[in-house]
Amino acid sequence: MFENRQKRTELSELGEFRLIDRLTKSVATRQKSTVLGIGDDAAILNFKKNQVLLSTDLLIEGVHFDMSYMPLKHLGYKAIMVNLSDIAAMNALPTQITVGLAVSNRYSVEALEEIYAGMLLACEKYNVDLVGGDTTSSTSGLIIAITVLGEAPQKNIVKRSTAKSGDLIVVSGDLGAAYAGLLLLKREKEVFEKDPSIQPDLEGYTYVLERQLRPEARVDMVERFADLNLNPTSMIDISDGLASEIIHLCEESTLGCQIYEEKIPIDPQTVTVAETFNMHPVTCALNGGEDYELLFTVSQSDFEKINGQAGFHIIGYMTDTVSSKNLISTSGEAIPITAQGWDGLKNKETTRET
Ligand code: ADP
Ligand code: MG
């Protein structure tokens, strides 16, 4: 659908070392903690007094992304975002990444450069250093394994397990849009496969498409929390849908919860798309995934700090009834939250990040 390669250099023309050089030639380092970046057997980092956070994510072609609708540059950008989001979810700032790449000869050097352009754009925007990686061949498809490091003073770090009963449950932005974007892209792919002369009809859906193709990790929230002098009591990023993430917070904190359907922030474009596909918009928010917003809890005594703040949506509260995690519907009915399939998504395909 997005095929427009002009020049094609085969990977075999370059060989591993020249490929690495070509992909990393414009890499600069910015972080104080980066002592030595790409080029030696290992990077050297110095975090002084801060705690170091470390997380890794694997992205597999055909499982987590589909090349037929994922532009290469966006793929690179998103691969970084998925990782930065995990560090933001600890209330820490990302500092370095390494990139493991396994690539089949189906990919040209130019295609990999395009992926790297997206990655480096993300690194620049979020002030993260690319300090190393590994490059090897794959017999089928593309595998991207990214490891991210972050740092934070120990007192700022927020875990999943430390929510308290009565804490308010808050979301940093609207949910379900990335899934709505995916629904549209899949539909257009099917149409295109049946008749390649039909142009994609994606007019008017920029927001949900961007949420799917070019998500932003909420690293900005880490700074917001600092500005507000607010430490969430627990936090997780929303990669798999609100339902599964709220269950994680409850289980790790040994608590229950009550969230309110009418409080879940959903963009009007998401509502339109969901309705087109005969889905309840709330299902997209609960089970769609890939929103990369933050889900966190705050003590009731901090209510004034977040009250009226743009982008903070209070959707419910934690309870000490471990066995009940409920969604209160608009009609007042209590529906138990399950990780998959509050309704229509039971047969959802597995093309999503984890
Ligand atoms: P080694 O043989 O020790 O694994 P490599 O030749 O694989 O070293 O890598 C040389 C340098 O290039 C190292 O600093 C490594 O971290 C870096 N590097 C290798 N592949 C990548 C990649 N895909 N992206 C970024 N840096 C890479
Ligand atoms: Mg190597």
What are the sequence ranges of the domains in the chain? 11-156, 168-336
Ligand index nearest the alpha carbon of residue 146: 1
How far is CA 352 from each of CA 155, 157, 241, rounded to the nearest angstrom?
Answer: 33, 27, 10
Q: Whose CA is nearest to atom 24 of ligand 1?
A: 133
Q: What is the distance in A from the centroid of ligand 2 to the CA of 19?
A: 12
Pocket of ligand 1 (CB under 6 A): 20, 23-24, 38-41, 99, 101, 130, 132-135
Q: Which atom of ligand 1 is nearest to the CA of 38?
A: 14
Q: Whose CA is nearest to atom 10 of ligand 1?
A: 39
Q: Which atom of ligand 1 is nearest to the CA of 43?
A: 14
Tens-digit pLDDT profile for the chain (354 aa)?
Answer: 444 557 899 999 998 889 999 999 999 999 999 999 999 999 999 999 999 999 999 999 998 899 988 999 999 999 999 999 999 999 999 999 999 999 999 999 999 999 999 999 999 999 999 999 999 999 989 999 999 999 999 999 999 999 999 999 999 999 999 999 999 999 988 888 888 887 777 888 999 999 999 999 999 999 999 999 999 999 999 999 999 999 999 999 999 999 999 999 999 999 999 999 999 999 999 999 999 999 999 999 999 999 989 999 999 999 999 999 999 999 999 999 998 644 434 444 433 433
Backbone phi, then psi, for 108, in 5-degree steps? -95, 165
Strands 129-137 and 93-103: parallel
The whole-angstrom separation of Cα 330 and Cα 116 is: 45
Ion ligand 2, residue ranges at CB < 5 A: 134
Q: What's the fold here for domain 11-156?
A: 60s Ribosomal Protein L30; Chain: A; (3.30.1330)
Q: Which atom of ligand 1 is nearest to the CA of 17?
A: 6
- Position 4 scores a pLDDT of 52
Q: Which of 236, 240, 239 is nearest to 318 (CA)?
A: 236
Q: Which of 102, 187, 119, 135 is nearest to 19 (CA)?
A: 135
Q: What is the CATH class of 168-336?
A: alpha beta
Ligand index nearest the alpha carbon of residue 37: 1
Ligand index nearest the alpha carbon of residue 17: 1
Do 172 and 218 contact (CB within 8 A), yes or no? yes
Bridge partners of 58? 145
How far does the chain reach from its first CA to its final CA, in angstroms?
25
What sign for the dihedral angle of Cα 55, 121, 81, 344? negative
Q: What is the distance in A from the centroid of ligand 2 to the CA of 51?
A: 27
- Position 2 scores a pLDDT of 46
Q: What kind and span of H or E run contains 319?
A: strand 313-319
